Chains A and B, each alone.
Chain A
Amino acid sequence: MAISLYEFKKQIKEYLLEIHWKQWSALGVASHVQPEQYWHIDVESLIISTLTIGLHDKRLFSACIEWLIQNSEWVNFSRLKRIAKLFSRPLPVPGGYLFNQGILSLLFNTLKKFKRFVIKYPDFIVTDNMPSEEYKKVFEGFKIRGIANQLQIFEPIPHLQLLLRGYFGVDARVEVFMHLLVDRAGNSNAIAKDVFHNQRNIYTILEKWLKVQIVKKVNAEYSLNKKKEWLRVLGLKKNIPSVNWSKTFLLFDQLLKSFSITELPCDKYTLSSIFRDFYKDAAVIGDNLNLQIPEPSVYKGEQYFEPFAVTVLTILKSLMRRS
């Protein structure tokens, strides 16, 4: 399937924004987009990703802030900070960083202004990587428009994280449990990396669960006991499809942000070269979805544009599925 440069850039933006809208819609934000029903939602990943690419759709950006004002008690701010750190990486092209940690400062100030933010937010590293004037303007101009409703949790899969927060409280146990339920066995270090929590904390949780036989441990790898029963208790009839939203959004946000840098030459070779920078990250996400990312060494120069672009759009389409 041939795809032009223009079409690719247009589609990646449209698809990525639609995925965000679907998830926000499932979280109670008024929108014309069908709410997410197939994939589980990772609230912290969704917030950081929305703040990262939100200037492409300021309504989405505002919806995210408004939702946080309404529902901040459901958010794990310590985890939010960890994911923000992951996103605060330099892009492989000139034009700075993917995410500026200073955006969190602007966000917290805005939340405090609306007096609904009672949770102590964590410190974050102040770097020279500060948010742009455009971000400052958006936060300064923020107004409640009544598009984010109080959260209603009723869909087992999309709301699984929030459902578990209802059971466990807003702490690391939720993501550990989800990891074991959705994904697979793992050691405490690998799980901590995947779920963006402190490794010692994860180890303590898993060892406690081992004592009460919630998990079993084989060769330092923990797995959930009685998974079928847990699924039934949570109202889930089948295994939950697995996607690591932090890593997925990280990849696509980097792609979108890299393409949006105006100083960058806009040609198939340049994009192909950027694709090669992201190959390893894309391969991990593709594996999860049983989609194979084309091996870059097979294609020379700009020849890599089309196979990678088509596969990436296929991944996005599969993340947009409606059933």
Chain B
Amino acid sequence: MLVLELLTLSVYNTKMKIDSSNVNQIFSALNSQIRIHNGSYIALVICGGTALATLELLNRTTKDADVLGIVQETLEGLKIQKIEKFPEWLTKAAEKVQRDFGLPDNWLNLGPASQLDTGLPPGFTKRLIKKNYGDYLTIYFISRTDQIYFKFYASVDIDDYHTQDLFSLKPTGKELEDAARWVLTQDVSEEFKIILKDFLRRNGYGNLALRI
């Protein structure tokens, strides 16, 4: 009996993953916690698995929400600003949500923020998909097109879940070509181009490898 109880507890105590069934609850909770922690309105750009799950582009789970930067909503349009760290109230709010949902530590992180230094795909901000979670939080999820760009970039030299994600998004030849051309702007070395072409060939896109 005790063993069963311990097993049950250990199952419940495993860290919760973010997926399409809970992502909206989690961000609504973050909105409430920002309010509780005397925070201000904030708009975040989120990429990675959380964006895939929210937009139901892929049916998979993720352990964290990757924040690219914060969005300034101006009359001229959206501007994405890089931040080195979250405001204290957002960190505290995220910690409460982490506890309340049993999420992994650092579930809200600025992992991909350095991408803003090397540049975003053309038309990126226009393709962002806005979701409002209350008076304190708006999330801009990156689009399917930009997922293809980013997943392609992440897949070139490591064959892991990014590669699976990339091809699960079923990119067209044109989309892959556009993504490849953008990826080459991120690393202009000849070595990288060779690796990229090899990646395309290995995945059945030899013709595309010849074109770029």
A interface residues, Cβ below 8 angstroms from B: 93-94, 263-265, 267, 269-270, 272-273, 276, 295, 297-298, 300-302, 304
The answer to whether A265 and B36 have CB atoms under 8 Å apart is: yes
- Note all chain A residues with C-beta closer than 8 A to B100: 269, 272-273, 276, 300-301, 304
- Note all chain B residues with C-beta closer than 8 A to A298: 9, 12
The answer to whether B102 and A300 have CB atoms under 8 Å apart is: yes
Complexed CA–CA distance, A80 and B15 (Å): 44
Q: How large is the interface on B (under 10, 10 to 19, 20 to 34, 35 or more residues)?
A: 20 to 34
Complexed CA–CA distance, A301 and B12 (Å): 13
Complexed CA–CA distance, A270 and B35 (Å): 10
Q: How close is B103's CB to chain A, nearest CB, in angstroms? A: 9
| B3-36 with Cβ < 8 A to chain A | 9, 12-13, 16, 22, 25-26, 28-29, 32-33, 35-36
A265-B35, A269-B32, A270-B32 known; A301+B13 contact, CB < 8 A: no
- Note all chain B residues with C-beta closer than 8 A to A267: 32
- Note all chain B residues with C-beta closer than 8 A to A270: 32, 36
B interface residues, Cβ below 8 angstroms from A: 9, 12-13, 16, 22, 25-26, 28-29, 32-33, 35-38, 96, 99-102
- Note all chain A residues with C-beta closer than 8 A to B38: 94
- Note all chain A residues with C-beta closer than 8 A to B36: 93-94, 264-265, 270, 273
- Note all chain B residues with C-beta closer than 8 A to A265: 32, 35-36
- Note all chain B residues with C-beta closer than 8 A to A263: 35
8 contacts between A and B (CB under 8 A): A263-B35, A269-B25, A270-B36, A273-B36, A297-B13, A297-B102, A300-B16, A300-B101
Complexed CA–CA distance, A265 and B33 (Å): 9
A94-B38, A273-B96, A295-B9 known; A301+B101 contact, CB < 8 A: yes
Complexed CA–CA distance, A272 and B99 (Å): 11
Complexed CA–CA distance, A300 and B101 (Å): 5
A276-B100, A297-B12, A300-B16 known; A269+B35 contact, CB < 8 A: no
Complexed CA–CA distance, A144 and B121 (Å): 76
Select which of A93, A276, A295 is within 8 A of B99 by beta carbon: A276
Complexed CA–CA distance, A93 and B34 (Å): 11
Cβ-closest chain B residue relative to A93:
B36
- Note all chain A residues with C-beta closer than 8 A to B9: 295, 297-298
The answer to whether A269 and B28 have CB atoms under 8 Å apart is: yes
- Note all chain A residues with C-beta closer than 8 A to B33: 273
Cβ-closest chain A residue relative to B13:
A297
Complexed CA–CA distance, A207 and B26 (Å): 56
- Note all chain A residues with C-beta closer than 8 A to B32: 265, 267, 269-270, 273
Identify which of A269, A302, A304 gathers the most chain B CB atoms within 10 Å of its CB.
A269
Cβ-closest chain A residue relative to B36:
A93
Q: How close is A313's CB to chain B, nearest CB, in angstroms? A: 21
- Note all chain B residues with C-beta closer than 8 A to A301: 22, 25-26, 29, 100-101
- Note all chain A residues with C-beta closer than 8 A to B101: 300-301
Complexed CA–CA distance, A302 and B9 (Å): 19
- Note all chain A residues with C-beta closer than 8 A to B16: 300
